Amino acid sequence: MEINHYEFKYGEFGETLGVQINLRGFDVLRFNNICKGTAFTIEERRKLKLSGFLPPRVKTLEEQLSSSLDIVEKKETDIEKFIYIRSLYDRNVVLAHAVIASNITKFLPIIYTPTVGLACQQYSSTFRGANGIHFYPGNINYAEYVLRNYTDQDIGIAVVTDNQGILGIGDQGAGGIPICLGKLMLYTQGAGIAPWHCLPISLDVGTDNEELLNDPNYLGWRHKRLRGEEYYTFIEKFVAAFKKCFPRALCQWEDFSKQTAFTVRDKYLKKLISFNDDIQGTGSVALAGILAAMKIKKDKFTNQVFLVNGAGAGGIGIAEQIQVELMEQGLNEKDAMDRIFTLDSRGIVTSDRELEPYKVKFAKKPETLPWLKSPEDNTLLNVIKNEKVTVLIGTSGQPGCFTKQIVTAVGENTDRPVILPLSNPTAKTEALPKDIYEWTDGKALVATGSPFDPVNYKGKSYRIGQMNNAFIFPGVGLGIVASGATEVLPVFFSAAAHAITEFISQEDINDGILFPPLDQLRQVSLEVAKRVGAEAIKADITGKGCAFAKFKHNNDPERLNMIVEKMCWDPKYLEQI
């Protein structure tokens, strides 16, 4: 017996042709994937036994969209807009995505960063309805049963969080699931992966956030976080169930914290089709920005000295991707590593102190740093001056730490310093773009992690390129799903980074802008998907068919590209079959 009583029909290349609905009456209106609300035609209302259950007027999608946009505009705060769009999504998937697609540049900061951070913090108090799957110690032992009871079984991508490293705000307990919801909305907006192929999952292993534990409204598992063997046994039970239920689906790990992020990623690289966007996606998008800067500087990537200030998951992920690119461009491993420096709260990461394992790879031997004679010498400024840093990347979450003195020091090492304050949300950015422009007389090449308004400098307005992972993960996910890749390779993220740089216009290059505008998200994502799919075919790691259905590409890149194009879903109502 089918659980959902509706079935989507596909064409030869994975395009969604229509939907067969076996439900009738109010049951039709309960499923947001198929509900059209007032857009159900008179004929559909009769056929589906909806007559009398809706007001008489039939609206078009365009009319519904206009009304919804009017409602959004009347909301006073971004969190209110977020709640409205999420509530709309819970009723009518197509209409919610039509609202977002009407102005992706405007709505992306509302459905994702920075507003999603507030949504996580207020999750329990603003809860409206169930979304996705919540695993906790009380149900993890029958995880397979839970997964098989989920409404949609044709899953291509799951975004999974343990809720510990949410953006720049840390442990949010059960409140981290809006991150998964937001990421999956971007998979749909960017790569056109239909919502019914997406699954948000929270691994609620408790929380060490005392405010949440003491909150009478808190909805999560009210215990301290599982640690050590208990934690990893929990993860193993989830992975075993997920792989059994969705053996060809992609699992994206999201907002795990520091060492845990690397441990989980590395443990399941070969056991599960998976990657960690905070590590690999962040590394890829940062690499794209740096590659764009080299186009503008007309300089070699291998001539740069890189400093990553903030040695968390994102920072080390960036260092990893820079190392891969340096070696792909001809350097040996030692020479590549010599050009990459990482800093944490204690200064430059060195091998003579006790380190978390994920930091060890990029730790410097003290004897290679003759200027580092005492702990007082171990400062951000001294590293920049003594190692001649030309690319400064911020992932520390320390607002304002890129001071005028710091930025000026980088400018003394190169004519066009690359300054990338990437910390989210906006309040945690290492420096404001307008200040960086002023301190460097407009010579700096700047991109940020959060959205910023254009900067007016010397009578000209400059758009600030946003180094947003949304340029990476949707396309990577689509490329994996469409190709049927059986594992996720590092080369996927290199290919994605190079693809992005091709969408920067000559006008933007002339103005020193490092990223295309967000309204090109779909075009960028499709090109990323094609590049990733091609790499999967080249590496011979494909199942020769789409990951969640039987659309065969037969290792033919041209046919794969057609699948990528055709299977992209747009927010339009489907015909009843």
Catalytic residues: 112, 183
H or E segment at 263? helix 258-267
What is the strand order of the sheet 418-421 is part of?
347-348, 340-344, 306-309, 391-394, 418-421, 445-448, 465-466
Count of alpha carbons within 13 angstroms of residue 180, beta-carbon side? 29
Tell me the three state secondary structure of residue 575.
coil
Structure tokens at 336: 């590549």
Evaluate whether 308 touches 339 at the Cβ level (below 8 Å). no
**Cα–Cα distances in Å, from 497 out to 193, 315, 503?**
20, 16, 11
For the chain, give percent helix, strand, coil, nearest 5: 45, 15, 40
From 183, 94, 186, 93, select the one nearest 522 (Cα to Cα). Answer: 186
Tokens 């994605």 locate to 496
Evaluate whether 239 touches 210 at the Cβ level (below 8 Å). no
Evaluate whether 93 touches 102 at the Cβ level (below 8 Å). no
Structure tokens at 404: 């005028």
Tell me the three state secondary structure of residue 178.
helix
Tell me the three state secondary structure of residue 530.
helix
Three-state secondary structure of 316-377: HHHHHHHHHHHHHCCCCHHHHHHCEEEEECCEECECCCCCCHHHHCCCECHHHCCCCCCHHH
